[in-house]
Amino acid sequence: MNEKQTLLKKYKIDVYLVDDHTLFNQGLTEALNRSQTVHVSRCFTTLNDCRAALVERRPDVLLVDISIPERQRAGECHSSKCEATGPSGGNGDTAVFCRWVINEYPKVRVVAVTVHDEYAVIQRMLESGIHGYVLKSAPLEELITAIEQAWKGQRYISPAVENIIRHSSSQAVSLTMPEQNILRYICKGYSNPQIADCLHLSAETVKWYRKRLLAKFRVKNTVNLVTLVLKERLLPDCEDITSTQFR
């Protein structure tokens, strides 16, 4: 039995939780705090609040949702363990935040807890250097295992996520120039006939490309496609695209 395993018998791993859904924060905090090895000491609903808290004090493990704002309206989190948030603002880039935490505080282990099972999102988060990736559909025992493994210095990836990686890594999304052009117009909210007029194609051809793009990115509809592309910057110059139709 190594030193970490021995210490785990008499020490609860200190955890910070970041998720913009207050009920999720409170429910998961209560569930984890009933375990023998984990204790959630603070939870936050924005990245900015967590960032400020990390400057003052660091946990052993940071659990973070992927789709989370930098700031949002105050007064949402009333638990004594949850921090009030500041004024509303734009969405933060969680991958960048996680990379900052890992670089700034290398002893803090970061585990993503999310509903996102898209390969492109998983890949980008893993490239940020996080120490674990767990889907919210996973049982509580799996999350506790991920926390323990991360604390011990190991990386934990949910079996479901490993399966997605295994089946998708050899099929990473690669876009042709026509696909990029059509996707750029889709992100601007253009309809198939409008895209067809701009690119001198038939509406049926554009419709075929749109279906092909949904299949390539493994999303169910155009809203999910646009959200994924803009949030994860998967299209060259996509940061310059402003989508009003899908906000």
CATH of the domain at 71: 3.40.50.2300
Containing structural domain, residue 55:
3-167
**In the predicted model, is pLDDT for residue 237 greater than 70?**
no
pLDDT tier at 242 (50, 70, 90 boundaries)?
very low
In this structure, are 115 and 201 located in the same domain? no
Residue 10, in any domain of the structure: yes
Which of 142, 167, 192 is a domain's end point?
A: 167
- For residue 63, the SS3 value is strand
Same domain, 159 and 124: yes
Beta strands in the chain (DSSP E): 13-18, 38-44, 61-64, 109-114, 132-135, 156-157
List, in sequence order, every residue forming a beta bridge with 15; answer none if it has no partner.
Answer: 40, 61
Q: Supply the CATH number for residue 204's domain.
A: 1.10.10.10
Structure tokens at 167: 């089946």
| Domain tally, the chain | 2
The 8-class DSSP code of residue 36 comes to S
In a domain, 46, yes or no: yes
Do 19 and 140 have their domain in common?
Answer: yes
Can you give the length of the chain in residues? 247
Q: Are residues 127 and 222 in the same domain?
A: no
Residues 34 and 81 both lie in one domain: yes
- Order of strands, sheet of 61-64, starting from the edge strand that comes earlier in the sequence: 38-44, 13-18, 61-64, 109-114, 132-135, 156-157
Last residue of a domain, one of 147, 167, 187: 167
At 69, is the pLDDT very low, low, confident or very high (cuts 50, 70, 90)?
low
Task: Please tell me the distance from the alpha carbon of residue 130 to that of residue 110, in angstroms, as a whole number.
Answer: 5
User: Is residue 247 situated within a structural domain?
Assistant: no
Whether 246 maps to a domain, the answer reads no
Residue 18: CB partners within 8 Å, gap ≥ 6? 43, 44, 45, 46, 47, 50, 62, 63, 64, 65, 68
106-157 pLDDT per residue, tens = 999 999 999 988 888 888 899 899 999 999 999 999 999 999 999 999 999 9
Cα gap 14→148, rounded to integer Å: 11
- Establish if 71 belongs to a structural domain: yes
Task: With respect to residue 99, please indicate whether it lies within any of the assigned structural domains.
Answer: yes
Q: Are 92 and 187 part of one and the same domain?
A: no
- Of the candidates 148, 167, 186, which is a domain's last residue? 167
Task: Read off the pLDDT band of 172 (50, 70, 90).
Answer: low
Is residue 15 within 8 A of residue 32, CB to CB? The reply is yes
Same-domain check for residues 68 and 148? yes
At 6 the pLDDT is 57
Strand 13-18, strand 61-64: pairing: parallel
SS3 category, 233: coil
CB 228 within 8 A of CB 121: yes
Assess whether 144 and 215 both reside in one domain. Answer: no
Question: Rounded to the nearest 5°, which phi and psi values hold at 217?
Answer: -90, 0
Q: Which two tokens stand for residue 119?
A: 């390969």
Q: Are residues 95 and 149 in the same domain?
A: yes
For the entire predicted model, the pTM comes to 0.62
Find residue 62's DSSP bridge partners.
16, 110
Does residue 245 form part of some domain?
no
Do residues 145 and 233 both lie within one domain?
Answer: no
Whether residue 85 is contained in a domain is answered as yes
Tell me the C-alpha distance between 37 and 62, whole Å. Answer: 15
Tell me, yes or no, whether 196 and 102 share the same domain: no
Residues 183-219: tens digit of each pLDDT: 999 999 999 999 999 999 999 999 999 998 988 887 8
Pair 130, 194 in one domain? no
